[in-house]
Structures are given as C-alpha cells and as structure tokens.
Amino acid sequence: MLDHHRPGLVLDPDAGDLRADFAELYAADHLQAELGARATIATTPGHVLAHEGGVGRSNELLLARLTAEDFAARRAAAPAPSRPAYETRELYATIALQGKHAMLPGVIEVLLDDYGALGGVSGYLLMAANCSQSGVQVAAYATLALRLQEITGRPVVTFGLGDAHLAFLASGVAATCAGVHGMSFQFPPAEFDELEEEENKTDEEDEEETGLGVYTYHPAILGNVGRLGSEGEPAREAIFKNQPCDCGHHRRDKPPQKKGEIVRHNSYAVSADARAFTSGDVLAAERKLLARAQNAERMRTFLKLSGLKRGFFAVSVAAARLRGGQDAAEGEGS
C-alpha cells in the first residue's frame, strides 16, 4: 500500500481547493512513496483534470510546490542511504494535460507561465491524457514541451503520445516514454483487477489478449502492425517477411509470438528507433524522420494499414515555427 493511498477517499482535484494540511501531507507521502521505491527521478503528483484554468490546476500547482519544498527540506537530491555517490536524485514536475484542453487558446501559455516559474524542480514530466493524435493536439504538446525546455533550460519527458514520440525526440524534446506494449494512456484507466490478471498471466496462457493488448512495433511503418489477435496476423506475417528483424528474439523473417517475445522485440526496436532520432542535430534528425515516414507511408499502403497519424507530422512543423522558420506554415494537418 502506498503511503499516500487513503482508503475510501476519492480525490477529485477539480472539486474545490485542497485543504492546506491535507495537501502538505499528501505531497510528503507521495514523495516518500517514490523515494522509498528508490526513484532517482521523483515526480510531483499529477492528476487528469476535467477543466483547465480552474481550481484543479491551482491544486496541481500547490501540490507541485509543496513536493518541491519537501524534496529540498529532506535534502533528497543527495543519493539515498547506501547508494553510490553518483546516484544523485532529482524532482520533475508532472503536468497531466488532456488533449482536448491542450488545443484550447491560451492554455499552453498559462501552463508555460505557471510551470516555467516553478522553483525546486529540475525537469518536467508531460503526461498526455486522451490525446487523439491529431495534428492540432500533438502540435500543442510539442509547443509546450519545446518552449518549457527553452524558457527554463530544464529537460522535458513526454508520455502518452503514441508513435509521435519519435517526432518529439527528433525535434529536440529531451526524452519520451513510449512503453513496450504499444499502449496509450487512457482516462479513466483500466480497472486494477483487469491489470492484475494481465500481469499474472504467463506467456502460455496469453494467447487470448484482453485488457491491455500487446501490439507489435515495426520500424518499417514507424508504429504498430495491424490489429490484435488473428485479424492482425496477415499484416504481421507480411511485414516481417518483407522487412526481417535482427533483434534476435525471434526468427528474423517471422513475427515474434506470445507476449514475452513481442515485448522483447518491441523493447529492442523502439529503443533502436529512439536512438536513431536522438543522434545528430535536430534538423538532420527531422529530415531523417521525414524520409523514414515517407517510406513508412508506402509500406502502410502496401499492407493496407491506416496511414501515420497527422500528429506525427505536426511536431516538426510546430518546432520550426518556434525556431522562427519560414517553412512552418506549410503542411499543417488537423
């Protein structure tokens, strides 16, 4: 049981101002739970809000400030007891933001003001919730991430942006969480008992996917291949036959089988692509990504898969606009 778990209490950050004593305790317990789990990058509490610009966001900022104060008061930046001297710790501010809010006029500017001015944190965790992957939504997240980095000099990590995470890396966002399961972050989340069932399954029991399914990532399409289950098999067979994979976790010309093998393949392939777009300068990485995306679109057509989401292409457009580039007005998706 986590320290900040309050049995029976439903915390609704939009419902009203958090009581100061409750917020203090909540922030302290939250931090204790993370440091107790040996986090080297702790995060401030983050909640998916029903509205922006209201009491919910004030509560989030209060919790972030209180966590930062507690982090400093505990001198938590020093390595944990019995850990090596180089293993210093940091605190990142969590910004959970819904896609439909990110695209509203003014929301990004207010978040930049509020979180840019936050003291006592050394980076940001930007969690996209219910992002549609549309060009407008993804461009808004890209603008927030890149401008926060520019204004504060602190790194931003994004989470929940699906395949477009590669475009974030190419355009200079410090890090992304992509997951090896091809999952996207949905709110409300899956029920806990569903997740636990999923966790407790062995590879052998795992043929019938339920709850969180595991898609197969393939670099040739910059995303996941086909549907889950038998419906997706023809596409998986075809792409691995056409574009074999040398990850070593399965026969190179056959798709990985069962959850464990797929996860190991995904972990290799997603990391390899992340590395591919973080080496070299941003303009070169963006060009490389665009070339890969054009090939991916051809392969997707060949396999009768849907095209890359517009959001994928919106990141470099937003980045160019922030750099003051003249090419920014072209090719905007929605």
Q: Least CB distance from residue 250 to Zn ion, whole Å?
A: 6
Compute how many residues bind Zn ion; rule: CB under 5 A: 3
Q: Which is nearer to Zn ion, 66 or 245 (CB)?
A: 245
Q: Which is nearer to Zn ion, 152 or 216 (CB)?
A: 216
Stretch that binds Zn ion, among 46-54, 96-104, 114-122, 247-255 (CB under 5 A): 247-255
Q: Which is nearer to Zn ion, 296 or 320 (CB)?
A: 296
Q: Which is nearer to Zn ion, 120 or 260 (CB)?
A: 260
Stretch that binds Zn ion, among 45-53, 80-88, 173-181, 239-247 (CB under 5 A): 239-247
Return d(Cα 1, Cα 106) in angstroms, integer.
39
245 binds Zn ion (CB under 5 A): yes
**Sites for Zn ion among residues 13-42 (CB under 5 A):** none
| CA 244 vs CA 237, 238, 250: distances in Å | 10, 10, 10
174 binds Zn ion (CB under 5 A): no
Q: Which is nearer to Zn ion, 27 or 270 (CB)?
A: 270
Return d(Cα 166, Cα 66) in angstroms, integer.
33
Stretch that binds Zn ion, among 11-19, 146-154, 245-253, 296-304 (CB under 5 A): 245-253
Q: Which is nearer to Zn ion, 148 or 245 (CB)?
A: 245
Q: Least CB distance from residue 214 to Zn ion, whole Å?
A: 13
Q: Which is nearer to Zn ion, 251 or 304 (CB)?
A: 251
Stretch that binds Zn ion, among 16-24, 50-58, 237-245, 321-329 (CB under 5 A): 237-245
Of 41, 247, 283, 322, the one binding Zn ion by CB under 5 A: 247
Return d(Cα 334, Cα 332) in angstroms, integer.
7
221 binds Zn ion (CB under 5 A): no
Stretch that binds Zn ion, among 67-75, 111-119, 189-197, 246-254 (CB under 5 A): 246-254
**Sites for Zn ion among residues 106-145 (CB under 5 A):** none
Residue type, position 74, single letter: R
Q: Least CB distance from residue 29 to Zn ion, whole Å?
A: 42
Return d(Cα 230, Cα 233) in angstroms, integer.
5
Q: Which is nearer to Zn ion, 76 or 245 (CB)?
A: 245
Which string of x and - marks every residue 259-288 that binds Zn ion (by CB under 5 A)?
A: ------x-----------------------
Which spans of this chain sit near Zn ion (rule: CB under 5 A)? 245, 247, 265
